[in-house]
Every structure is written in structure tokens, then in C-alpha cells.
Structure 1
Amino acid sequence: MPEVPAEEEEVPSIETVTDGYFEEEYYIGAEDAGDFLIKLGEQFKEEDEITITGDDWELPFAFGEPVKLDIEFEGDGEPELEIEVELSGRVEDETPDLT
């Protein structure tokens, strides 16, 4: 006997962020942060475009060289270590003819 198709589950729509301003901040465990950084690092090594995803968004980004790495340590009072990676967008080799 054929099965009756179940009602389709609502699949949340994914917003692809390609322009404007976008910011998300997360408080996660160190192991999860490490997993995130490993996956991000693998994308850096394998391609010249990364994609970062959240629950309902994705952010693809084609980057160029050099990559800026900033390491900042504050040891007074409550110690804090900040590691920042800054990527510039990839510049195409050829410029368009605007004439």
C-alpha cells in the first residue's frame, strides 16, 4: 500500500548575506570555538572563498591576499586575549571597460 505523503516540514529559509552590514556574536564553549576555527582554517587552505553559516543565514566571501592577523593581549586586571582575522575582498585581475 502506498504511503500518504507526510505534510512537508517547514524548512527555514536561509538568507545569503552579500551586501550591507551584518554582525553576529556568540558565546560558546572553547571546544566549539576550536571546531569552528579548524573548519574555517581548512577553507582558508583549500580555497580562496569561505562560507560561514548560522541557523538561518550564510555568508560567502571571496578573499584576496594578504590576510591580516592581529593578536592582542591585555594582562591588567582581568586578562584578555583577542585574535582577529581581517580579510579584504578579492580584487578581480581585469577591470571593466567603462567607456
Structure 2
Amino acid sequence: MPEVPTDDAEPTIETITDGYFEEEYYVSAEDAGEFLIELGEQLKEGEELTITGDDWELPFAFGEPVELEIEFEGDGEPELEIEIELTGKTETESPEIE
């Protein structure tokens, strides 16, 4: 749902580059699918991605390999969990060993 601004001022966007940040959303399967498609396109395009929220953005340069974990629990109430873990790309290159 789009947010309606309370005044004419431009919203302030916080860029998250350090510390700890976590957000949790409950969305429709369609919205989750669109998010994953957009995230997947950024993963395919290069080694940097940006995730944005209403008043924040999180740019992230990642390296290889990317960890993909799929977990299924079928006892009681079935649950499927898909997790992608990206390791930050460092600016330091490995030294050459001769």
C-alpha cells in the first residue's frame, strides 16, 4: 500500500551501510514473488544490489560463492524456508603467491 505524505517535504531516505538492520514483512505471495524476481535480476546483473524500503535503502556489494539453503519441515504444519546468504565483497585483493 503506498504511503501518503503528511506534508510536502521529500521523505528522508536513510542509507544503511553499517551496524545491524532487520525488517520483517508479511506480504502476499505475488508481492514476495515480485521482490524475489527483482532481487534475482540484481544478482544476475553484477556484484552489487540495493534493497529499498519506505524510508531506507541498503546497498550491498557481494562476493562469490552465494549460499542458498532450502529447508522443509513436513511434520505438523508444513513449512518451507528458502534462505540466501551473501558474503560482503572486500576491496582487498588476495596477495599473489609465487
Deviations 1:53-77 (A, max 9, x none): 0000000000000000000000000
1:52 is matched with 51
Cα-Cα RMSD: 1.4
Distance 2:17 2:90 in 1: 16
1:23 aligns with 2:22: yes
Q: State the partner residue of 2:4.
A: none
Task: Kindly report structure 1 stretches of 4+ aligned residues shifted beyond 3 Å.
Answer: none
TM-score (norm 1): 0.85
Asked whether 1:74 is paired with 2:73, we answer yes
Residue 3 of structure 1: aligned partner: none
Structure 1 position 94, deviation (Å): 3.2
Please state whether the residue corresponding to 1:42 is helix, strand or coil.
Answer: helix
In structure 1, give the amino acid aligned to 2:14.
E
Residues 33-56 of structure 1, C-alpha deviations (whole Å, 9 max, x = no match): 000000000000011100000000
Structure ID, larger Rg: 1
Q: TM-score normalized by structure 2?
A: 0.86
Q: Using the alignment, how far apart are the partners of 1:94 and 1:77 within structure 2?
A: 48
The match for 1:86 is 85
Unaligned runs of 5+ in 1: 1-7
What amino acid does structure 2 have at the position aligned with 1:41?
A: G
Percent identity over paired residues: 75
Give the aligned residue type for 1:45: K
Task: Count residues in correspondence.
Answer: 88
Q: Which whole-Å CA distance do the structure 1 matches of 2:22 and 2:67 have between them? A: 19
* Post-superposition offset of 1:18: 0.2
Report deviation, 1:93.
4.3
CA distance in 1, matches of 2:73, 2:29: 19
